[in-house]
Structure 1
Amino acid sequence: MQSNGFVPQRTYSTTKKIVFWSKIGILVLIVSYIIFTLHRQQHDLQSVRAYWKAANWFSWPAILLLLLTPVNWLLEALKWQILVRRVEPLSLKEATQGVLAGLAMGFALPAQLGDTAGRLLSLRSDQRWQGIGAALVSGGMQFLAAVFFGTIALYSQLYYGSGDLPVAQWLLFFALVLTLLLAVLATWQRHRVLHSKVRWVRRWEKYWSVASHYTTAELLQAFGAASLRYLTFSLQFYFALTIFGIHLPIRETVTGIGLVYLGKTIIPAFNLLSDLGVREATSMLVFGQWQVPAPQILSATLTLWLFNILAPVLAGLFWVWKLKLSNH
């Protein structure tokens, strides 16, 4: 009998327990920050409900927000299709099914385990585990896209002198630039890195080996798809802000969106309900500097979560069911 390799672990090491409780701590801090901010502004979730009721859901921003949701996930599927072809060629439809299955499985499972599992289980190849490298490169490309555009947004904030703690922000800026440079260097020297004689690198070589076979053109195509996807959900964020009457100058809007997604990217994800709360807390912190009321920004970010995460997850549940049937 062929095993799919995904066997639940009954015990946790001390390290895993520390990571788990650290993420729970982050969750508590984020939720506490949201509650504190709403209480300080003398608003509650009733205000959010009032904004939702007052919103014009048949306006062009709302319609475009909805129409861009499949575009968002089709671009993710295109990126996955480009990278996984070294393991198994997939059609765009098959790649989309795998992405949606991974999104549904990753809705509650920790550390991107569900997302990777859903994608790998959607493959028919006997070498599924080689797909781990493709999945990690896919996630890495999206991470780099968020860091790239987030670094530009952070520089804009620093250049125009807005925000507090400029020293800390400059340190973060240089750390992000260093991260991007190291990523370019690692990509350039990927063959040497992946075939390093370092023991801990060689231990995982069979999972990462697929990454050494990518051409520069393939990596650029994947990064292009990741960048287009980033711009797509950033545009969705803009439409969500518009729906709830948040109208800022274009520079502040673009900078704010970039900083929100940067924060969401670099803050450790606890993956409870697909990191629900990280975007909300970051948005309230970033847009709060321009005196945007907390209930308005919370309404916008929750709407974005419903459109971009919850709706595709519900669609992905169907493919998770099919994966279970096909693997028993």
Structure 2
Amino acid sequence: MQNTNETNPKTSILSEKLFSLFKTLLFVVIVWMLYKAFDQKQQNIDSLLLECQKAFVVKNLWKGLLLILLIFFNWGFEAKKWQQLALKVEEISLKEAFKGVLMGLSLGFITPANLGDYAGRMWKFKQQKRAESIGAILLGNGIQFYISLLFGTLSFGYFLITNNQIIAGINGITILVLILSLLLGFFAYLKRHLFYLFVLKIPYLKKFAHSVKILEYFSNEEVRKVFLWGLLRYFTISLQFVLVLLIFEVKLNIIDLWTISCLIFLVKTIVPAINFIGDLGIREFSAIYFFSFYQVNHAAIITATFVLWFINILFPVLVGSILVLKTKIR
């Protein structure tokens, strides 16, 4: 009698062909959206090139090399954070974690609210383990969100004081909301083991309860390790932003540059981007707003945010899209 558990060769070949077609379509979508981004920015290309020409001088060489080197630290710390989180699901190497992060980044910018990031990271797991990894991804994203919220809140307070802004009205409400959010986040950390029970009580979320049950298994020490990797990544991105602003000769002291970089990251974290093009627009808008309180070259600011987006997002996305093409069905 024929074994019904055996895989039909024709079905397997068809699945491989459909999967290859799917990967190719994803790659085409990524390239198309990349073209769309540059097409929308065409009117600013000339001024961008002009600012870049002025910045490419010998004295900025070491800053440029450090800026590029920090790309690998940025996503390396994120990969290490993801490897730590993934241990509760399936043990993966740092190399596999790095691939998962880049694939998630690549798929994330073509989906609303970065949802593709989940698919990219889960892709590296065996099929039966993918649902369990959602909780680990949520924890990692939550920790990174909290870090951005923490330094963004401190920076906003410093920004208001140094610019003689009254901490009342909308400013006072914003500070209050940020502080309450920090307290709520810390409470969620202390009571994370109850999150599974909370989800079970909500009819619309009950079917996802098994995906967040993994939160119960993270010890305080493990969460602190993840927090440390997230903190290192945040400092790396902040340093990159300060470096690129110095390269384009934004004449402010280091503390003010770092403060504004934290505020831009805060806005980017709170305001969800529809896709990676929206992400770039949020960076530009917030940069222009916060730098408007200082006497600086706005063209240089726009160029700096574009360059940081280019090296930190666009380049890794292209690498991630190639990894998507090379990934086999599991």
Q: TM-score range by the shorter chain?
A: 0.7 to 0.9
CA apart distance, 1:66: 0.3
What is aligned with 1:149? 151
CA apart distance, 1:67: 0.4
CA apart distance, 1:203: 3.4
What is aligned with 1:262? 266
What is aligned with 2:3? none
What is aligned with 1:12? none
CA distance in 1, matches of 2:166, 2:63: 32
What is aligned with 2:102? 100
The structure carrying a bigger helix percent of its residues is 2
Deviations 1:82-105 (A, max 9, x none): 111111111111100100111111
In structure 2, relative to structure 1, the CA distance for the partners of 1:68 and 1:182 (3 Å cut) is: same
Q: TM-score when scaled to structure 2?
A: 0.82
Secondary structure, in 3 states, of the residue corresponding to 2:279? Answer: coil
CA apart distance, 1:45: 4.6
CA apart distance, 1:175: 0.8
Q: Which amino acid aligns with 2:102?
A: L
Deviations 1:255-287 (A, max 9, x none): 211111111111121114472211111111111
What is aligned with 1:41? none
Deviations 1:36-73 (A, max 9, x none): xx9xxxxx653222111222266111111100001000
Secondary structure, in 3 states, of the residue corresponding to 1:275? Answer: helix
Quick check: 272-281 or 243-252, which moved more?
A: 272-281
Q: Which amino acid aligns with 2:46?
A: Q
Alignment partner of 1:184 out of 176, 183, 186: 186
Deviations 1:272-312 (A, max 9, x none): 44722111111111112102222110010100011101111
What is aligned with 1:54? 54
Secondary structure, in 3 states, of the residue corresponding to 1:90? Answer: coil
What is aligned with 2:68? 66
Alignment partner of 1:129 out of 128, 131, 138: 131
Any stretches of 5+ residues in structure 2 without a counterpart? 1-6, 23-39
Q: TM-score when scaled to structure 1?
A: 0.82
CA distance in 2, matches of 1:164, 1:311: 41
CA distance in 2, matches of 1:314, 1:57: 28
CA distance in 2, matches of 1:187, 1:317: 34
The size of the alignment, in residue pairs, is 292
Deviations 1:113-154 (A, max 9, x none): 211100001112522111111111111111111001101101
Is the Cα–Cα contact under 8 Å of residues 195 and 202 in structure 1 kept in the other structure? no
| Matched ranges for 1:110-259 at <5 A | 110-124=112-126, 126-163=128-165, 166-196=168-198, 198-200=201-203, 201-259=205-263
What is aligned with 2:84? 82
Larger radius of gyration: 2
CA distance in 1, matches of 2:317, 2:165: 36
Secondary structure, in 3 states, of the residue corresponding to 2:128? Answer: coil
Q: Which amino acid aligns with 2:159?
A: Q
What is aligned with 1:313? 317
CA apart distance, 1:164: 7.7
CA distance in 2, matches of 1:207, 1:256: 37
Secondary structure, in 3 states, of the residue corresponding to 1:252? Answer: helix
In structure 2, relative to structure 1, the CA distance for the partners of 1:165 and 1:180 (3 Å cut) is: closer
Quick check: 50-59 or 96-105, which moved more?
A: 50-59
What is aligned with 2:32? none
CA distance in 2, matches of 1:164, 1:46: 39
Calculate percent identity across the aligned residue pairs.
Answer: 36
